[in-house]
Amino acid sequence: MSTYTAFHSHTRLAAGSLAAVAERCKAVLDASPDAMPIVYDDATGRAVDIDYRGTTHDVLARLATPGEAQAAKRGPGRPKLGVVAREVTLLPRHWDWLAAQPGGASVALRRLVESASRDGAPADRTRQAREAVDRVMFALAGDLPGYEDASRAFHRGEAGAFAEIVGAWPADVRDYIALLHDRATP
């Protein structure tokens, strides 16, 4: 299950499901229309765009899971089976090799992708977790003292130096970045 965390400036507003976090942010905005809450996807560190217009019920009704959003966007392919057609550009020798594979190009590509995603999964998860730390740290702490030193320590794998620098930051920012850091460190 995906989790999310919302901040207003350097203060954590909420953490949990997207619906729970959006509901809390809507309450903050209703009480203080000048507030600017930002919701982060804990897995990617990316900000999530939420439309807060209308009532809390309206906001929650507009939240769609990625699967529902994809199902609503029917396009080429076999959408009922979850197959989506997209363009792939390869050299002629690649197309020749794919055409000679049992089942044709689509079957061979799916098999290659499955194998690569299975074999590279641990490294991919670590890379994505490290990217999440980078994104959130830049967004929340890019203006804080020691940000550049903390970033260098993070990328060098100097956990002690990283923790010392981040320790001086506001508690909510420090705790959230430490949580993401722990997920990114094997």
Together in a domain, 93 and 55: no
Q: What is the CA radius of gyration of the chain?
A: 21
Together in a domain, 110 and 131: no
Predicted confidence band at 158 (pLDDT cuts at 50, 70, 90)?
Answer: very high
What is the spatial distance between Cα 181 and Cα 159, in angstroms, rounded to a whole number? 9
pTM, two decimal places: 0.74
pLDDT tens-digit map of 74-102: 555 566 767 777 888 889 999 889 889 89
Together in a domain, 20 and 62: yes
Q: Which domain holds residue 109?
A: 87-119
Q: What is the number of alpha carbons within 13 Å of residue 103 lying toward its C-beta?
A: 7
> Domain total for the chain?
3
77 lies in a domain?
no
Together in a domain, 140 and 113: no
81 lies in a domain?
no
Together in a domain, 61 and 92: no
Together in a domain, 129 and 178: yes
Concatenate the DSSP letters of all residues of the chain into one string: ---EEEEETTEEEEEESHHHHHHHHHHHHHH-TT---EEEETTT--EE-----S-HHHHHHH---HHHHHHHS--SEEGGGTEE-------HHHHHHHHTSTTHHHHHHHHHHHHHHHHTHHHHHHHHHHHHHHHHHHHHHTTSTTHHHHHHHHHHT-HHHHHHHHTTS-HHHHHHHHHHHHHH--
The pLDDT of residue 75: 57
Together in a domain, 115 and 128: no
* Residues whose CB is less than 8 angstroms from the CB of residue 17 and which lie 6 or more positions away in sequence, other chains included: 1, 2, 3, 4
* 155, pLDDT greater than 50: yes
pLDDT tens-digit map of 110-150: 888 888 888 877 888 889 999 999 999 999 999 999 999 99
What is the spatial distance between Cα 148 and Cα 162, in angstroms, rounded to a whole number? 11
Together in a domain, 115 and 129: no
Together in a domain, 135 and 172: yes
pLDDT tens-digit map of 140-154: 999 999 999 999 999
183, 173, 144, 185: which is closest to 44 by C-alpha?
183
Predicted confidence band at 47 (pLDDT cuts at 50, 70, 90)?
Answer: very high
